[in-house]
Amino acid sequence: MELAEIEALHAQHARADFGTTTPDELAYIQETIRTYKPRKILEIGTASGLTTGFLARFLEEVGGDSVTSIDSEDVFFGDHRKKVGYLASAIYDGQSVRTRIEAGKSSLDLAGLDGPWDLVFVDASHNHPWPTLDTLAVAPHLSGARIVIHHDLQLFRRFPRFLGIGPRVLFNETPQTHRHAGAANGWNIFRIDLSMEPVLLEEMGLNALSMPWTARPPLSKREVSRFREALRDTYSPGFWAQFDVCEKQNRWNATKMAYFYVRYAAAKLRNALLGRSRA
Ligand SMILES: C[S@@+](CC[C@H](N)C(=O)[O-])C[C@H]1O[C@@H](n2cnc3c(N)ncnc32)[C@H](O)[C@@H]1O
């Protein structure tokens, strides 16, 4: 696909509030796929499925096999009447690349999916430490080129209220030899080459995890124990000891948690009512 074609298809389907990639960011992803020629791609954070469809189109250009896209939600945040991934088939209707949408899943569920993958696009929660956790969680499910692309490197400055510093923290802690930022959309996208020594990956992960976490709500006890369970044998005892220190420092007390959930429930109810009145 040429850039003009990407732009036209993007303009046809994307809306400003879709939280999706821009055409030049898509061109960066396309260039990465052309360079590394993956056979299988994983996307973490499906939303409308717009980028899922483009991933499938770019993968077809290099003769790849499948795109799997996961999202923690069942419905698309931009339109609560639509399921996550609904746009993927409008962008890619070819037969050669198998496209699979897995709703209600996060990087903690990868063991039950169709990995390993050669290339991953992470565009889910941008709150720290999620992009780092997604990267650490996906590492044992990588094969081939072991490339992980992250979106929204500039979110921390453009929309400070989102507290979306996660991609930036991870980028900063990735060795220069293993990271590459693209100029697209004002340097808003980057890739990490995870073919590195395990000790280096742990060091990078712990450096990032040692920065204050901005996830709202914070990681739940269940998420922490699932993360630990899934990766216990992947990372060393020293890693887990330091992980515990970071997690404890970022835990919320009961009052803060209760306050957050009351506001969260109110926002969910408002969205559901708005969705129903639009239907
Ligand atoms: C920015 S949108 C993804 C946009 C999509 N990649 C695109 O370019 O069209 C982020 C999506 O990630 C999902 N999400 C948030 N936290 C997640 C998590 N921890 N694991 C998986 N998905 C998550 C949200 O439900 C939302 O649909």
- Across the range 74-86, mean pLDDT stands at 96
What's the whole-number average pLDDT of the chain? 95
Full set of structural domains in the chain with CATH: 3-214 (3.40.50.150)
pLDDT single digits (tens) 204-262: 999 999 999 999 889 999 999 999 999 999 999 999 999 999 999 999 888 888 888 89
In sequence order, which residues have a C-beta less than 8 Å from that of residue 268 and are 6 or more positions away? Answer: none
pLDDT digits (tens, 9 = 90+) for 100-128: 999 999 999 999 999 999 999 999 999 99
**For the residues 71-94, what does the mean pLDDT come to?**
96
Q: How many CB atoms lie within 10 A of CB 61?
A: 13
For ligand 1, the distance from its centroid to the CA atom of residue 238, given in whole angstroms, is 31
Alpha carbon of 203 to ligand 1 centroid (Å) = 26
Residue 279 confidence (pLDDT): 62
User: Mean pLDDT over residues 13-24, rounded?
Assistant: 95
Pocket, ligand 1, Cβ cutoff 6 A = 19-21, 44-48, 50-51, 70-73, 77, 84, 106, 123-125, 130
Distance CA 74, CA 119 (A): 24
Give the nearest ligand 1 atom to 69 CA: 6
Q: Which of 46, 79, 268 for a ligand 1 pocket mutation test, highest count of atoms within 8 Å of Cβ?
A: 46
The pLDDT assigned to 126 comes to: 97
The runs of H, that is alpha helices, within the chain are: 3-13, 23-36, 50-61, 88-91, 130-138, 155-158, 166-173, 184-187, 198-209, 221-231, 237-249, 254-278
Q: Place 62 in a pLDDT band, splitting at 50, 70 and 90.
A: very high
